[in-house]
Amino acid sequence: MSLVVSNESIHVLGKYISNYSSHQHNDNIVDEATSEFIVNISSCGLVPVITIVGIIGNILSFVVFLKQKKRDRTRVVLISLAISDTLYLLITCVRKMSCIVSMFDVVSGKNWGVFMVPQWYIIGITFARITSVLTMVISIERCFAVLFPLKVRAVVTRTRALKLVVAIFILVSIAMFPLTFCSYTRWTLDPTKNRSVLSVAWTDFYIKNEGVMENYINVALATLLRITPCIVVLFCTTAVLASLKRGQKFRKQSSNLAKSGILMEERRVTVMLLAVTSVYVICLAPGSVLVLMRRFVPSFSTNGKYNYTFLLLSNMNIVLECLNSALNFVIYMKTNRRFNIAFKKMFCSSCNEKTLRNEIHLLSNGTSASSYLD
C-alpha cells in the first residue's frame, strides 16, 4: 500500500508516516491554519538557518580540537560529538530544503521530502541518537570526575574513551539499521496535476512484521536511545551541580592536585561540559515527553484527532534538536578559555598576539602556558 506524504509530515516512524492534511478534527487544540503557519516558519526559516550556522560551528570545533596536540579523554568525545552533530544537521538541512523548493514548485518540494524518507531520514535520526548517547557518556564521565577526582584519570583513559566512542557509533547504527527496511519510494501519477509524484509504500518486511517493528521502534529504540539518555543526563547533571555547590568532598580529595593546576583545569572542563549537558536536557526533554505522549495517547499522532497539535510540536522538537546540535561551538567559546584562545590563534589574524599571551598567563595558574596553544 502506498501513502502520499506531505513534505512536512515525516517526523516519526512506522505507522505515523501519512498525509496529515487529510485528517481534520474539530476538537484540535491548534487549528490547521495556525499549525501550518508555524510549521512553515520553523521549517523554511528557523531550521535552515540553525543547521547552516551549526554545521559551520561544529566544523570549527572539530578543527580546533583536532589541531590541539593534547587529546585527552574529553577531547576524544567532543570531537566525536562534533562529527555526529555535523552529520545530523547536514542531513536535516538537506531534508528541510524541500520546504524552500515547495515555494517555487509544490510537487517538486513534496517529491524532495518524500525521497528523503526511507533511508536518509533514518540516517539523520541515527546521528541524532549517537549524539544523545555521547552526551550521556559525557555526563556520566563528569559525574565520576567530580565525585571521584583521584580515580577518574586512571579509570577513564583516552584509549578507553576512543574505544567506547567507536562502539557507540557502531552499535547505534546497527540498532537503527532495520528501520531502513520499513518503507520505500515509488513514482505514481497524480491525475489532479497530471504529474508524477513520489509516494511512500511499506515494504513486505514491515507488513509481515508490523507488530514487532512497532514495538521495536516505539518502545525499545525510544526507551534506549531517546528517553534513557535524557533521564541519565538529567540525573548526572543534577548530581554534579549539587556536588559542586557543596564543594567539600571535591576540594578535600583534590587538594593535593591544586598546586599542579589539575584541579583548576578539571573545574574549567566541568563547567563547559555542564553547559553542554544542560542544553541537551532543555532541548531534548520536550521531545522525550512527546514520545511518551505518542505512545500512551493514541489520538496524539498524525492520524489522531490532535494531529495538527502533534505536527506543530513535532516541528518544534526538530528545531530544539537542531539547536542542541548547533550550540556547542558557542558553549565552548563562552565557557572554555583554552578553546577560545586556540580558536583565535588559528582563525583570528587580527587578534593581538600579546593580548593572547596575557590571557594565557592569567589563565594558566600553574599549568604550562604553552599547552594552551597545543
pLDDT, tens digit (0-9, with 9 covering 90-100), for 183-192: 988 888 888 8
Compare 1 and 300 and report the one with higher pLDDT. Answer: 300
Residue 62: name the closest of 77, 48, 47 by CA. 77
360 half-sphere exposure, CB direction, 13 A CA radius:
19
Q: Quote the pTM value.
A: 0.83
Residue with cell 512536512: 8
Alpha carbon distance 336, 341 (integer Å): 9
Average pLDDT of the residues of the chain: 80
Side-by-side strand order, sheet with 195-202: 2-3, 195-202, 183-190
Alpha carbon distance 14, 217 (integer Å): 7
Q: Which three cell numbers stand for residue 301?
A: 499522532
Determine the pLDDT at residue 363. Answer: 53
3-state secondary structure of 66: helix
The answer to whether 356 and 349 have CB atoms below 8 angstroms apart is: no
Angle at 140 between CA 227 and CA 163, to 5 degrees: 100
Q: Is the dihedral of CA 58, 64, 67, 70 positive or negative?
A: negative
Per-residue pLDDT tens digits for 143-193? 888 888 778 778 888 889 999 999 999 999 999 999 999 998 888 888 887
